Structure 1
Amino acid sequence: MEIPKELEKVIELTKEQNKWRRTETINLIASENVMSPIAESVYMSDFMSRYAEGKPFKRFYQGTKYVDEMETLAMDLLNEITPSKLSDLRPTSGTIANAAVFRVLANPGDKALITKVQAGAHVSHTRFGTLGALGIEHIEMPYDMENMNVDVEKASKMIEEVKPKFVVLGASLFLFPHPAKELAPIVHSVNSKLIYDAAHVYGLIAGKEWDNPLDEGADIMTISTHKTFPGPQGGAILSNNEEVFKQISKTIFPWFVSNHHLHRLPATAVTAIEMKYFGNEYASQIVKNAKALASSLAERGFKVIAEHLGYTRSHQIAVDVKKFGGGAKVAKMLEDVNIIVNKNLLPYDPPEAVSNPSGLRIGVQEMTRFGMKEGDMEEIADLMKQTVEGKDTNEIKKKVIEFRSRFLEPKYTFNVDLKNYSNKNIPMLI
């Protein structure tokens, strides 16, 4: 039988996606990353076809003996690199991790305090997302525009007055660590719980570039495993609070997850091992690159937020591009030359500006994984300047593709001859 046209289309689209995003673009999306060849190889395995409802060694299916070992190993590795005492990898995303935590800690009609939406609160923290779906009222904590962070003094007073069921720190626009250490005592004094959504910055925490929120008093930390932590898409919940963790762990299945996409487990374990041995070097270079890109853009006339604070301490920078036409226009201009960013609300934007905000959110973690250093950030800044100045799009695009061709292999991993582990009878990449 001839190959159907529909199948040819699927293969062609996949081929084009791989070529474009892996070899021809400068990817600066702050919520993305790339796995190592080893992690990608174990990702495509028989695990992807199987079910393992429940917890390791307490399943509702047979045939899970290797799943049990792999899941336990992956959780142990996360606990080691965080460090934490307890972990659960069954949430299939950071949002699902948040949902499980929120549902246990509050009931419909209860109140939760979150960071300001325009200042980066993830949609799952808000009435527009998971909190709203659960019927929990979101109240925004006061924001200190000068320090680009939660206002500790005013937030402390609000916590004492409102007595919320829980407080959420962490964000999607996340330039500086949130004040877990300062707020934890206040949160606990009103018999509340502190959640730290570290989806974006877990790689910086595991790499010891940021302090561990669990050491600073957070009761629960939720994470994504595919942002600064360069693993497969997924989520996890980490804690040192056994009482709270047990309640949450009981709800993941069956309330929010049935099967939890088992092919994530070996890939997450590989990435945790990579972070164990290379995480400090990787996390440190991420922050160096973010600062370098921020200063390079500022030198070229861009309005980079938080100059007085050193721009950033994370993988992200925020740039006000209103003078160039706004976030939506500039993001499209950059995509046309193969530089991929996202438009983003800035703290001083009104919520209704979400479709065309003032800003761009830029993340350097993926390009750092491909081996870029500070000098390369200057080249990226040059290309971005040429783009917003309206220079020839095709010429800039050629420069981008040539520049990217020098960075095609993920770093901060192990040199392993995957052919030694191949099995011709199983459809694995290795």
Structure 2
Amino acid sequence: MPQSAERAELAASDPEILAALEGEEARQRAGLELIPSENYAFPEVLTLLGSAFTNKYSEGYPGRRYYGGQEYTDRIESLARERACALFRADHANVQPLSGSPMNQAVYLGLLEPGDTILAMDLSHGGHLTHGAPVSHMGRIFNFVRYKTDPRDGAIDFEALRKVAREAKPKMVVCGYSSYPRDYDYADFKRVADEVGALTMADVSHIGGLIAANVMRNPLDAGFDVMTTTTHKSLRGPRGGLILCKAEFAKKIDASVFPGLQGGPHMNQVAAAATTFRLAATPAFRAYGTAVLANARALAAALTRRQVKLVTGGTDNHLMVLDVVQSFGLDGAKAQAALDRVDLTTNKQVIPDDPLPPMRPSGIRLGTPAATARGMGAAEMEEIAAIIAETLRAGGDAEAEALLAARTRALTARFPVPGL
């Protein structure tokens, strides 16, 4: 059915939802997405997410399903697993997790026992909610202990991490982040884990695409037992999760995902992931990954030249965290709101040992995957930095913000959103 016919049907059946859809499309076209965990999906992904695979239940795994009619679902899931293993140099892949949180939960519940100790990054120092935050269910089921960054340079303090590991004797060491602007040497984590007899897990949800593009280190190359990643973010695929592991853990991981944690997988999502893995193996995607990192360095440098304080002083990956209290005298919530008014989408962010509460923290977080997907480069990063700094120094002046919003829209008009 042509897209125009689909829109006509939706206009007749639910005009309120159609209006919201068209409003969101307009927002994405006119504004610029700078949240590092968000991106523009490949057009092929959007096609598959709205495909006939949406209609099919496929509980189980290829060749071992509970329902009939699985010829094509088996085919796409087998392709997704094969492509994921080839892309990330893994022994085994499970492509069924519905998102990042159940992906990580399946690993913990499949390889550990309730009450076991897990060593993971402190949430306020860059870790993720699923790494055992007290408000999460996993934080209630397992005993999470924390490592932090060094206050002198913002990097992970491995001596302190080793000390905590020796004292706590964790069953698993988890590394990964949502707001840490540096790369890891995964061999350092592996040495600590080996010393205390722990399993190793890397949650690379933010940088999965950059690892696929071979522009950032791969934990599996360092001998990690498990690696997890979401399939959107820097991979530009559907919202979903992926678990990669050594062959010896394959059965436990699969059983933990289904029937342990989930029922039927979303086969439209699996199909879209399969195509994403194929696209991520191309030279064009490797060029994209290289450009994401180059743009992040360019944006960080341009902000620094404008006397903006960055956590860790810069970035090795796709993201950076701005200390907006020190730089502009604003908390992160006010800074985020001001940037929204000039059509730059960011998110408020805690910084290490933040004295302010999470809903009104000291920082904001920026990333370059989405801007890069639109084709922007170093010159555009310079303009983005200028708009950010001028907006946050404008003091909420409506006339100044209107002029800055016009600059954002002039920029985005030159770079269409893929798939829209």
| Alignment of 1:324 onto 2:329 | yes
Q: Post-superposition shift, 1:94?
A: 1.3
Distance 1:375 1:139 in 2: 43
Distance 1:346 1:365 in 2: 21
AA aligned opposite 2:318: H
- Equivalent residue pairs, number: 404
Structure 2: gaps of 5 or more residues: 1-8
AA aligned opposite 1:363: G
Distance 2:330 2:305 in 1: 20
Q: Post-superposition shift, 1:5?
A: 8.5
Q: Post-superposition shift, 1:147?
A: 4.1
1:285-304: CA deviation from partner (whole Å, max 9, x where unpaired):
00100011111111122212
1:306-321 map, 5 Å: 306-307=312-313, 311-321=314-324
Whether contact under 8 Å (1:176, 1:312) holds in the other structure is yes
Whether contact under 8 Å (1:123, 1:130) holds in the other structure is no
Whether contact under 8 Å (1:174, 1:200) holds in the other structure is no
AA aligned opposite 2:139: G
| Alignment of 1:194 onto 2:200 | yes
User: Out of 79, 84, 87, which is 2:85 matched to?
Assistant: 79
User: Out of 322, 343, 349, which is 2:348 matched to?
Assistant: 343
SS of match in other structure, 1:385: helix
SS of match in other structure, 1:353: coil
Distance 1:271 1:145 in 2: 38
| Alignment of 1:169 onto 2:175 | yes
SS of match in other structure, 1:334: helix
Q: Post-superposition shift, 1:166?
A: 0.8
Distance 2:171 2:130 in 1: 16
SS of match in other structure, 1:196: strand
1:11-26 map, 5 Å: 11-21=18-28, 23-26=29-32
1:45 corresponds to which residue?
51
Q: Post-superposition shift, 1:264?
A: 1.1
Structure 1: gaps of 5 or more residues: 412-428
1:417 corresponds to which residue?
none
- Which shifted more, 275-284 or 364-373? 275-284
SS of match in other structure, 2:177: coil
SS of match in other structure, 1:15: helix
1:426 corresponds to which residue?
none
Distance 1:183 1:67 in 2: 38
| Alignment of 1:246 onto 2:251 | yes
1:351-390: CA deviation from partner (whole Å, max 9, x where unpaired):
x621111111101101101101111100111111221122
SS of match in other structure, 1:144: coil
2:338 corresponds to which residue?
333
1:414 corresponds to which residue?
none
User: Out of 268, 278, 294, which is 1:263 matched to?
Assistant: 268
- Which shifted more, 91-100 or 184-193? 184-193
User: Out of 389, 392, 399, which is 1:385 matched to?
Assistant: 389
Q: Post-superposition shift, 1:186?
A: 2.8
Q: Post-superposition shift, 1:279?
A: 2.5
Q: CA RMSD in A?
A: 1.9
Distance 2:12 2:49 in 1: 28
Whether contact under 8 Å (2:11, 2:18) holds in the other structure is no
Identity of aligned residues (%): 30
1:84-233 map, 5 Å: 84-126=90-132, 127-133=134-140, 135-233=141-239
Whether contact under 8 Å (1:105, 1:166) holds in the other structure is no
2:404 corresponds to which residue?
396
Distance 1:396 1:55 in 2: 52
SS of match in other structure, 1:104: helix
Distance 2:365 2:402 in 1: 24
1:62 corresponds to which residue?
68
Distance 1:325 1:142 in 2: 25
Distance 1:410 1:142 in 2: 38
Distance 1:149 1:220 in 2: 23
AA aligned opposite 1:402: A
Q: Post-superposition shift, 1:121?
A: 1.0
Whether contact under 8 Å (2:338, 2:392) holds in the other structure is yes
AA aligned opposite 2:387: L
1:370 corresponds to which residue?
374
